[in-house]
Structure 1
Amino acid sequence: MDPPALGALLVLAGLLLLSGRCGGVPSLYTIDAVALTLLPGPTVPSGTPVTLSCSVSVSHDSARGLMHVFRFTRFDALVHAVNSTAAEARLRLQPARATDSGDYECQVEVKEKGRRSEVQRLTVTGLQTPVFTLSAGVVYEGGELAASCSAAQEKGALLFQFFQRQAGGAASLLKQAISEGNRSEARLVLREVGDRDMFCNYSIPMASHAGSSNSSNTLHVLVKALFISPVMEVLPSTSVFEGDVVEVSCKVVKAPGSVDVYLNKGGKVLKRGAVVLSHRLTVGAGDGGEYVCKAEHGAAQKETYQTIRVKELFSRPVLSLEPLEVFEGELMRLSCVIDSYSPERVVIENMRFSVYKNQQLLVPAASYSAIALPSQNGNYSCRAEADSQGRPLAKESAALVVQAKVPVSVPVLSVVGGRLVVGRPFALRCHSDSGSLPITYTLHGPRRPAQTREVHWAGDEAVFNTSSVLRRADLLLFLCHAQNNELSAALTSAGQELLLTTEVIEPVSRPVLTLVPNGASVSEGQDLMLNCSVQRGTLPVTFTWFTSGRTGPLFFQTLQGHAGTYTIAAVARGRSGGYYCEGSNPANEVKRSFTVVVGIQMAGWKKGLMAVMCVLLLLAAVLAVLHKRGLLRRRGKTLSVKPASTQSIGLTAAVESRPVNVTPGVMGKSVWSEHVSGSDTDEQNSVVSPEEAEPQHTEDTTSDPSRGPVKKGTDAVYSEVRKSKQGVPEEPADGGSVEYAQLNNDSGRNSGHRNSGHRSSGDLNNGLQGGGTVPPDSVDDIDELNNTEGATEPEVCGPDTQGPDC
């Protein structure tokens, strides 16, 4: 926008703002009060001028007045509106009528603000007396009059009422109507004959306090009797035979003017005429009944009644079929008969009959016979004719539908679902492909009562619930009979067809679990075969193997056979326990075998190894016992024996006060034994601890000084002999060490093994056995033996030993 245009726009805006200020439009204002006044007062008689004055008081900050909008309402409906700068507005009611009564209110609006006055109730009392007029003063009974009732000075909606008052009676309301104006017109029907006075009044529905107006002027009306009752005549009589001609006439005598006459029967107008009419008809059996003659003059009506009775010459023919239910291929017969006739008018021999099919003449006779075929089906009827006084009369029968029934076909017996399980209940369906309904089906089965089902409509089936069969061949014993004609034999189904069309499932028998090898002779490392078999059952069969203590199956397989095998390769000893199998087939019935307990034996090489270990353990135990019994004990003297490798034997013996038994030759060493207490039991023998059993190194003072000490366990075995009495070892004469040996060999054994060798040793043994003390020279001999080089080890006599000393 260019600068000159922008400047002009700013100047115009300033002028408008200035003009607004100059116009005196205040920026601050408030409505103080609004008052409504009724003049001359709130209650006035009808016809009085009334003024409603509405005043308002507004405070504002300008010297100029404000524009006020005044609205007058009655019952919240707008009556009058005024726009004025004055502080008062008026509504004039000149004159006020009862319809002006109501609750008035004034509302004043100033700019965006508004305020209402208090409600003022105006009551206008009194109503105008209406004016009543009639179109005529004389009328016939049932005639109509045009009436008018008006109140010229009233306004608004008015309710007008029209009354009549007969001589000496009370007024009765004839009619009432609501009019939006001050006038109402109505059509009044006067039905009762006589004189009467008529008048009207009105009321205001919206001003119920005003009540009803005074009654209008009264007009006198004469209602004359109307003699238009028709005269009715039936010729030749009111009782006739069918086929007779009857004439009915209706007329009004001395009609007062235009009169309409009607002949009616059963609500149907047969004929209409002016003042008089005549109607001729040939009556039939259905023409009897009540006839009405009615005369109308304006709104007035008069009626006359006559009843005509018609006798039948003969009854309506009836066409019948024999038999009632005909089947295709059977003989059917149609017959046309009448139940009654009038012999005074009809000769039965002269009557004529004919049979029709589909409205076409079939035979001119009272009967018709034929073989029932599909081509014979159709709608049949018959006709009977007779003459009465030279006039023919014909009647037709009702239509008869002939539909030959179809014989039932051979039924077919089948299992519902096409499958059954041996041992379980099942359902059988018996059905015929053709045959008219209803059809009765009867089921016969082995070892059960017969069952019957009747099929009445299409889509229905004969289904029989039956108990189980024990074997497949039992199906041959089921039979089904179908019949829809009592006069013919029932047709029977064939059990062979049921057997051929049914899938028969036989549940599996109880499985048998066998083991290869036998469960009691299974060794670890062998292959264990678990064979599960059933004797009977429909294939395929599913075999499942289980073991106790384990969740879930070991293995399963589905086979086209009655046996299955599960192999456990290189069975371990941990696989011992109970085994069983289950069998199932499409019958969905699981059978379980008995549980077979399997004990896995140890492998042979393990047994041999254990046997060797047992022998070794036993030998070790024996050696331990022998060693335990052969422990060295401290005695009064020390006895030393060297092995053969040393080529010298050192023997030191202590002299005891009791006999000592010595038995050499155990484990290649010389062993000396003695009984401490002299008894045969070993429990009294002294037991030496393992520490004491250890051989101790002892220097042999009698040996060669140049030789070193004897090594433990190899060069020499040192024994220590304890003294039995004092328990204190005797010191040797040469000051050397003394060792004690306790020899625990039995006396019996000692007697069987005699030591043979050097003399000194034998002398020592003899001395010990004698229970005496070893002499000193014997001890010297022993020392000499110990020091002798190249001495041989003494021989041990046994069962297999032969020598010069044994």
Structure 2
Amino acid sequence: MQVKIQPSLMIGTFLLLFLFTSEEAYAESIIKSVQLVIHPRSEVERGTNVSLKCQAEVSHTLGSHPNYKYNFYKDYLLLNTTQTNSTDSFYSIPDARVAHSGKYKCAVVTEKRTKDSSVKDLTVKGLQTPVLRVDKLKLREGDVVTAVCTAEGEIGSLTFFFSDESGELYRMTTESQRVEHKLAFTEQTVNMFCYYSIYVGSTIKRSNNSNVIGLHIEELKIKPNIKVNPSKYVIEGDRITFSCSVDISNSTTRIILVHGRTTLSSNMAQEEYSMSVKADDSGEYECISHLGEVDKSSTINITVKELFSMPVLSIHPAEVFEGERFNITCQIHSFASERIQRGDISYSILRDKTPVINSGIAGKASNGEYICIAKAKGIVKESRKVLIKAKVPVSKPEITVDGPVIVNKTFWILCNSENGSLPIIFSLKKNNTILNRAEVSSINKTARFSAMISTPSDISSYMCEAENNGQVSIKMSGRLDVTVIVPVEKPLLTVIPVPGNIEEGSVLTLICSIPRGSPPISFWFYGGSGKGWLRAISHPEMKDRMMKLLKRSRPMTVCFMHSARTVALRSLLLQVSLAMWKKALIAVFCMLLVALLVLFIVMRYKAKRGKREMAAELSVKPASPKSDDSLTLSLTNDTHYSDHTVVVKNKESVWSERPPDVADQDSLGSTSEGDIEYTEVVHPQPVDPTRIPLRKGTDTVYSELQTSQGASEHVNHQVLLEYAELNHDLPEPVD
């Protein structure tokens, strides 16, 4: 039967599902608190069932059903995880052990929210006592026993220990509850037990000891007996025999003979060992027997007396120089008189393994490695090796210097000998007096001495003395012969001609000289105007202490000089006068300039004077003077005003009257009247002092005279312009 679902019902169903899912999706949970509860308690005995309860207090939206995840931690490591919709969860620890002790906590997680509980300690007391078992109780020395130690029910990392009365025999750490190990014993009786330990946090918990098992070990009678013939005390060269044996004969028993770290024989169970002894054969000898894992030994001490002592090689003298004679001796200090006499010992001397005689002349042929050999009763002994190398007498030393030698300055004297065995002692002498000593102990080493001289002649008083064999081979150098530099003193600069009489263009001689100084000397002449060096003229490495320089003089010449080896310098300021032709040229130029200036002033003055004359006006009163009349002339210009009174006489006037022309006579009419005589009467007028220009001498002033129209009888007459010379003092015009 098919059921047809209406479309409207389907839409409603989907809507309800959507609303339900949306409500679940937006349901919010808040964890208020989380608590861990340990049941039955926090401290329990081993074997107790322990339960951990994680309980959460959560608030959430009404009608929602959130899920919770519970995490349990031991010592801050995740122990267990569960999921549920309940607000609590459990974690069980059945049959708790000490290994369950630790720090516990839980955490609740819901909708990306997490909250932890506080940390609580769980302590489980009591470790189980382990049980020890062995596979057999009766053993022979060297047998192996299997021991098993078990701690049933314990968990965690356990460390098992096997021990007896003497101490620990074996230990092993494992996660297992059982440890098995094989042990071998050498003692006759052993009481063995085991125990274990476990880490709880940072402390170690130890269990009780297990049951004790007593083991009886049967000893193997394989300890060897060692014997030596003829005696433990022998003389060098004697033969001795060793024998080793055991009480129980067993084909598997092995016996060896050992001296120190050297195995002399490995088959001592079947044969003896014989040897001829030497002085260094004294000491302990040991017989060792092996059977399975069991070793047993016996020892004996042997003392060997020297047949004769080690020979000693001697050289006389101890140090020998080339060409000197030396002796070589070989001897012993003691010998066994009960075996040999001193004459039974033979000696031989070898140089580089070649026999030589016991004396010779020191030199390159005698140099080498020497050894002495002594023999008696088959015993051969060698002395220590002695290297003989003839010393080379010191050669004549050479005396030199390091660097330049300058008077009154410290310098180094070097002493060196090309040949000579070390060490060499050098002495610096001055006039046979030793100043200092130095010892040279390495090849190509030179003795250095500091010295200082006050005069150049002192340099030859130094000598070097060298020795490497006391007073036998002292060598003296020659006297020190090197160039001594005398510092250049402050130079003297001389000028010819004498400064003050030097004209430009003349030949100037500069002479630079020094009272003291070692050649070669370099001179530098510098010329300048005081604002910096212009040029330098040098002549290097001159052998004289003086240098001349010829040059054309120039104004304000400064000259300096210094030496290449000193900082001494001298300066001189030269005043150089001009040449005569330059002086004449300057004088002519100055005179021309003055003349032009005077001409300019005169022309300017005349120009101003002309302007003043043109501006002057002359008036005559009365206009038609008669005989004996007083005539007043008034002259007016820009600068001053003056009146002049003239008496008219019937005579020739001092005024010059220009004769009239013909045309003028016609117009003027008859001139039959007598001549008019003018008498000048000067009436000075007051003048403003501030407007009076200064004036010197007497000037001639020309004024234009004009007669005004007079009476009827003179109506037809025109007064001519006349120029009169007025001789009177007037103020001088100012430009």
Report the TM-score, using the length of structure 2 for normalisation. 0.64
State the 1:76 CA deviation.
1.2
Residues 493 and 209 of structure 1: is their aligned pair in 2 closer, same or farther, counting only changes over 3 Å? closer
Identical-pair percentage: 30
- Of residues 312, 319, 323 in structure 2, which corresponds to 1:318? 312
Q: Which residue of 2 aligns with 1:590?
A: 567
Query: Per-residue displacement from partner, 1:164-202 (whole Å, max 9, x unpaired)?
Result: 57xxxxx987776544322234667877766x7554444
Give the match for residue 477 of structure 2.
Answer: 493
- Residues 459 and 84 (structure 1), Cα distance of their counterparts in 2 relative to 1, 3 Å cut: farther
* Closer, same or farther: CA 37–316 of 1 in aligned 2, 3 Å: same
Would the alpha carbon gap of residues 288 and 211 (structure 1) be closer, same or farther in structure 2, given more than 3 Å must change?
A: closer
Q: For residues 257 and 50 of structure 1, what CA distance do their matches in structure 2 show?
A: 65
The AA in structure 2 aligned to 1:412 is E
From 525, 532, 539, the counterpart of 2:512: 532
What is the Cα deviation at residue 92 of structure 1? 3.2
Q: Which residue of 1 aligns with 2:494?
A: 514
Residue of structure 2 equivalent to 1:397 = 383
Q: What is the alpha-carbon distance in structure 2 between the residues aligned to residue 82 and residue 275 of structure 1? A: 77
Residue 91 in structure 1 maps to residue 100 in structure 2: no
SS in 2 for 1:115: strand
1:128 Cα deviation after fit: 2.4
- Deviation per CA, 1:183-227: give whole Å up to 9, x if none: 234667877766x75544444321789965454334344567787
Number of aligned pairs? 578
Q: Is the 8 A contact 2:29 2:61 kept in 1?
A: no
How far 1:151 moved relative to its partner?
1.3
Alignment check: 8 A CA contact 2:393 2:473 kept = no
1:190–1:223 contact (8 Å) kept in structure 2: yes
1:253-268 correspondence runs (5 A): 253=247, 263-268=257-262
Match of 1:183 in 2: 178
Partners of 1:597 and 1:446 lie apart in 2 by 50
Match of 2:372 among 382, 398, 403: 382
Change (3 A) 1:509 1:173: closer
Deviates more, 1:210-219 or 1:317-326: 210-219
Matched, 1:149 2:133: no
CA contact (8 A) 2:46 2:97 kept: yes
Query: Partner letter of residue 325 of structure 1?
Result: E
Q: Is the 8 A contact 2:407 2:452 kept in 1?
A: no
Contact 1:414 1:429 (C-alpha < 8 Å) held by counterparts: yes
Question: More relative contact order in 1 or in 2 (CA 8 Å, sep 6+)?
Answer: 1
- 1:27–1:243: structure 2 CA closer, same or farther, 3 Å change rule? farther
* Counterpart residue identity of residue 124, structure 1: V
8 Å CA contact 2:526–2:533 kept in 1: the answer is yes
Kindly tell me: are residues 85 and 368 of structure 1, through their superposed partners in 2, closer, same or farther at Cα, counting changes over 3 Å? farther
What SS class does the counterpart of residue 422 from structure 2 fall into?
Answer: coil
C-alpha distance 210-410 of structure 1, shift in aligned 2 (>3 A): closer
1:286 aligned counterpart, secondary structure: helix
Residue 300 of structure 1: how far off its partner (Å): 7.2
Partners of 2:298 and 2:382 in 1: CA distance: 35
Provide the secondary structure at the position in 2 that maps to 1:444: strand
Distance 1:231 1:90 in 2: 76
- SS state of the match for residue 205, structure 1? strand
Maintained 8 Å contact 2:185/2:217: yes
After superposition, the Cα gap between the structure-2 partners of 1:93 and 1:185, relative to the gap in structure 1 and judged at 3 Å, is same
Q: Does 1:216 align with 2:210?
A: yes
Distance 2:174 2:250 in 1: 36
- 2:239 is matched with which residue? 245
Q: What is the identity, as a one-letter code, of the residue corresponding to 1:463?
A: R
1:26 match: 25
The corresponding residue for 1:122 is 122
- Map of 2:547 onto structure 1: 564
**What does 1:399-414 correspond to in 2, within 5 Å?**
399-414=385-400
Give the stretch that moved more between structures: 238-247 or 427-436. 427-436
Aligned to 2:419: 434
Counterpart amino acid of residue 496 in structure 2: V
Compared CA separation, residues 238 and 172, structure 1 to 2 (3 A): closer
CA contact (8 A) 1:545 1:555 kept: yes
Contact persistence 1:321–1:335 (CA under 8 A)? yes
2:50 counterpart residue number: 50
Tell me what 2:633 maps to: none
Q: 1:52 to 1:423 in 2, by over 3 A?
A: closer
Hey, what's the Cα distance between the residues in 1 that align with 2:272 and 2:504? 130
Measured against aligned partners, the alpha-carbon deviations of 1:215-261 in whole angstroms (never above 9, x if no partner) come to 43343445677876654433222221111112234445469997765
- Secondary structure of the equivalent of 2:200? coil
1:422/1:123 Cα in 2 relative to 1: closer, same or farther (>3 Å)?
Answer: closer
Q: 1:135 to 1:405 in 2, by over 3 A?
A: farther
Distance in 1, Cα, partners of 2:122 & 2:191: 37
Cα shift at 1:293: 4.7
Aligned to 2:106: 106
2:461 matches 1:480: no
Asked if the contact 1:580–1:592 (Cα under 8 Å) also holds between the matched residues in 2, the reply is no
Aligned residue for 2:601? none
Structure 2 SS opposite 1:127: coil
- In structure 2, what residue type is equivalent to 1:480? C
Q: How far apart, in 2, do the equivalents of 1:100 and 1:257 lie?
A: 58
Q: Distance in 1 between matches of 2:432 and 2:471?
A: 30
Q: 2: distance between equivalents of 1:232 and 1:192?
A: 23
Secondary structure, aligned partner of 1:99: helix
The CA deviation at 1:22 is 6.8
Distance in 2 (alpha carbons) for counterparts of 1:227 and 1:295: 10
The superposition leaves residues 134-185 of structure 1 with CA deviations (integer Å, 9 ceiling, x where unpaired) of 45545689998654331111111234455657xxxxx987776544322234
Asked whether the 8 Å contact 1:445–1:478 carries over to 2, the reply is yes
- Specify every segment of 5 or more residues in structure 2 that has no aligned partner in the other structure, as ranges: 1-13, 588-644, 656-680, 683-735
- Return the letter of the residue paired with 1:380: Y
Counterpart code for 1:240:
V
Mapped partners of 1:461, 1:144: distance in 2: 79
Q: CA RMSD in A?
A: 5.0
Is the 8 Å Cα contact of residues 194 and 209 (structure 2) preserved in structure 1? yes
Counterpart code for 2:417: S
Q: Secondary structure at the match of 1:349?
A: helix
Once residues 289 and 192 of structure 2 are traced to their aligned partners in structure 1, the CA distance between those partners, rounded to angstroms, is 29
| Alignment-derived partner of residue 158 in structure 1 | 158
Shift of 1:288: 1.5
Unpaired runs of 5+ residues, structure 1, are 1-14, 166-170, 611-698, 710-735, 738-806
In 2, the alpha carbon distance for the partners of 1:373 and 1:250 equals 59
CA contact (8 A) 1:31 1:56 kept: no
TM-score, normalisation: structure 1: 0.59
Is this contact kept in 1: 2:128–2:207, CA < 8 A? Answer: yes
Task: Report the CA distance shift for 1:253/1:555 in structure 2 as closer, same or farther (over 3 A).
Answer: same
Name the amino acid aligned to 2:420: G
Distance verdict in 2 for CA 1:541–1:30, change over 3 Å: same
Query: What secondary structure is seen at the aligned counterpart in 1 of 2:343?
Result: helix
CA distance in 2, matches of 1:287, 1:421: 75
Distance 1:340 1:424 in 2: 68
Corresponding letter in the other structure for 1:490: I
Match of 1:349 in 2: 343
State the one-letter code of the partner of 1:399: K
Deviations along 1:72-116, whole A, 9 cap, x unmatched? 221112223345666665433332222222222223444644333
Provide the secondary structure at the position in 2 that maps to 1:482. strand
SS in 2 for 1:204: strand
Q: Which amino acid aligns with 1:584?
A: S
Q: 1:422 touches 1:506 (CA, 8 Å); kept in 2?
A: yes
Checking the alignment, whether the CA contact within 8 Å between 1:26 and 1:61 is kept in structure 2 is no
Larger proportion of strand: 2
